[in-house]
Homo-oligomer: A and B are copies of this chain.
Amino acid sequence: MFEKVTIVGVGLISGSFALALKDKGFAKKIIGVSRTEASAQKAKELGIIDAALPLEEAVKQSDFIYVAIPVDATIPVMKQVMDLMNEKQIVADAGSTKMVLCESLSNHPMRKRFVATHPMWGTEYSGPEAAVREAFSGRSCVICEKEKSDVEAVNMVENIYRTLGMNITYMNPENHDIHAAYVSHISHITSFALANTVLEKEKEEDAIFELAGGGFESTVRLAKSNPTMWAPIFMQNRENVLDVLNEHISQLRKFKASLEKENLPYLIELMENANKIKRILK
């Protein structure tokens, strides 16, 4: 058990992680680092953190530092953290992109005390109020460039994630970012675009949303997600996201063509192919 753990960011991921660290007996005291006083206060009220401190003070007294903030902020903050760290401390991030971060830290003298992770869990909510207990369980956690981290640091981080019920997968940052584009980033973009589609229509028609049922809700749920978190993810992973987005638009055009030509067999063929997703989803 760690005496003190610092979470940088007191939101959905870091907050849920902090709650889990306490619940599973990994940490005695959690220190929160937050950009805003209000979030720090809220995180204290919710029992997510025991104290809030500025980054430098927090890092200096912590055994383990967990950084879960928007991916554009992660790079400078992680450098700051690693500049402050000694050879016994461990730091991990939880970002949804890995290539830019890993590249930018590759020559840092403390690189081996850093474990690059992406626990693939989340909800469409954000902020300390979004933190929940029993998060992460049953989901995958990707660890990148395992070989660049000290074995003991990787083991420690893996032990935490496994205790939280996650399945560890190893990937290089390039493959991680490609896969994340397919299984996560594109889902968010289609949800955002679908929300904009119906909101555009709503300008003309009033009663439309009385009808919004379960199917609509589940496909558009992610459109509630926080732009401050997601815009930097899409930007950092823009080449992969553009690849997937182009493929997705071309798949939608096939549906369009089948309808325009009233080609029922082709429409059914497209849908039957999509049904193959059953073997992948549980």
A positions within 8 Å CB-CB of B = 120-123, 139-140, 142, 167, 169, 171, 175, 178-180, 182-184, 186-202, 205, 207-225, 227-228, 230-231, 234-235, 238, 241-242, 244-249, 251-256, 259-260, 262, 264, 267-268, 270-278, 280-282
Contact = CB atoms under 8 A, between A and B. Distances in A.
A278 to B, nearest CB: 5
Number of copies: 2
B218 A169 contact: no
A191 to B, nearest CB: 6
Contacts of A199: 273-274, 276-277
B223 A184 contact: no
Contacts of A281: 212, 217, 220-221, 224
A252 B249 contact: yes
Nearest to A187: B219
Give chain A's interface secondary structure class.
helix
Contacts of A280: 198, 202, 209, 212
A215 B249 contact: no
Given A184-B211, A223-B274, A224-B281, 9 more contacts: A171-B207, A179-B208, A182-B208, A192-B274, A196-B251, A197-B248, A200-B251, A215-B222, A230-B271
A253 B193 CA distance: 9
Nearest to A180: B211
A219 B218 contact: yes
A170 B268 CA distance: 32
B211 A140 contact: yes
